[in-house]
Structure 1
Amino acid sequence: MKQMSENAIITAASVIGAGLVCLGAAMGAGFGNGNMCGKSIESMARQPEESGKIFTNMLVCVGLIESMPILCYVIAIVLVFANPFIK
C-alpha cells in the first residue's frame, strides 16, 4: 500500500476545509437573507407608506449580507491554490 505524502494530506485537508467554509457561508447568507427579506415584507405590509425606504434598506442589507460569503469563497480559493502550508 502506498503512503500519502505530507503535501497530499495538507492539500486534501485544505480542500475539505474550504468546502466546509463555503458551505457555512452559503447557509448563513441564505438564512440571513431569508430572515431579513421576510421581516422587510412584514414591515412593508404594516406600513405601506414607508415601503420605498424599507425596500431600499432591504437591498442594501442584501448586498452587505452577500458580501461575506463572497469574501469567504475568495479566501478559500486562495488557501486551496496558493496554500502557505505546502512546502
Structure 2
Amino acid sequence: MTPDMLATIYAYTAVGVGVILAAAGLGSAIGWGLICSKTLEGIARQPEMRPQLMTNMFIFAGLMESFPFIILAFAMWFLFANPFVGALKAAIGAM
C-alpha cells in the first residue's frame, strides 16, 4: 500500500461526496419547488381546500427537508470512516 494509492482513494471519495451532496441539494430544491407549486395550483383551483392543502404541504415539506440530512450522514460516513481504505488494506493483505 503506497501513499499514492491512499491519496487516490481519498481524492476520489472527496469528489464522490461532493457529487452526492450537490445531487441531494438539487433534488431537495426541485422537490420543494414542485411541492409548493402544486399546492398553489390546488389553492387556486379550490380556495376552500386551503387548510387541508397547506397541512399536506407542510407534512411533505418536512419529509423533503429530511432527505438532504440523511444524504449528508451517508456522505460524512464515506468521508470520515472511508470503507474503501479498509477494502484496500484487505486486498493488499490477501496478496
Distance in 1 of aligned mates of 2:65 and 2:12:
26
**What stretches of structure 2 of length at least 5 have no aligned partner?**
90-95
**What stretches of structure 1 of length at least 5 have no aligned partner?**
none
Distance in 2 of aligned mates of 1:81 and 1:8:
14
Distance in 2 of aligned mates of 1:34 and 1:27:
11
2:77 maps to amino acid: V
The match for 2:56 is 57
The structure where helix makes up a greater share of residues is 2
**Bigger relative contact order (CA 8 A; separation at least 6):** 1
Distance in 2 of aligned mates of 1:76 and 1:23:
11
Distance in 2 of aligned mates of 1:12 and 1:28:
24
The match for 1:13 is 12
1:5-53 CA-to-partner distances (Å, cap 9, x unmatched) read 1111101111100000110111011011101101101111221111001
2:69 maps to amino acid: I
- What TM-score do you get using the length of structure 2 for normalisation? 0.83
How many residue pairs are counted as aligned between the two chains? 85
- Structure 1 or 2, whichever has the larger Rg, is 2
* Map 1:1-40 → 2, pairs under 5 A: 5-40=4-39
Output the aligned Cα RMSD.
1.4
**Alpha-carbon offset, residue 67 of structure 1:** 1.6
